[in-house]
Amino acid sequence: AGVTQSPTHLIKTRGQQVTLSCSPISGHRSVSWYQQTPGQGLQFLFEYFSETQRNKGNFPGRFSGRQFSNSRSEMNVSTLELGDSALYLCASSLEGGSSYEQYFGPGTRLTVT
């Protein structure tokens, strides 16, 4: 099975918070999150490996995440803004090196109204 994400679609109101979930490919220990918007393209949010955040992109503190012992990951966005509307993609990788390809899930489309 590939990377799975839930939910598929989500509609929230400004000021609310949201939690997105990602289950990596079995055996993969690294999970990365990306935001995709028409204006900014694909931007790296953060990466977790063995429950530790190793990298963080240039996003405000409203964006946070965590990884569980089974490698599943969640990301949370608090105090939603209209600009947070995007496709959020999760990717998993076997190990933590730059040469390891990442496998992406189908994404969660978040709409903030």
Partner 1 sequence: AQSVTQLGSHVSVSEGALVLLRCNYSSSVPPYLFWYVQYPNQGLQLLLKYTTGATLVKGINGFEAEFKKSETSFHLTKPSAHMSDAAEYFCAAPFSGGYNKLIFGAGTRLAVHP
Do the beta carbons of residue 3 and residue 92 sit within 8 Å?
Answer: yes
Determine, following the binding rule CB under 8 A, whether residue 107 of this chain makes contact with partner 1. Answer: yes
**Which tokens in the block code for residue 81?**
């803004």
Binding span for partner 1 by CB under 8 A among 12-20, 69-77, 78-86, 99-107: 99-107
Determine, following the binding rule CB under 8 A, whether residue 75 of this chain makes contact with partner 1. Answer: no
In 3D space, the residue among 29, 10, 26, 28 whose CA is nearest the CA of residue 18 turns out to be 10
Interface residue with partner 1, options 18, 89, 110, 112 (CB under 8 A): 89
Least distance from C-beta 111 to partner 1, angstroms?
A: 14
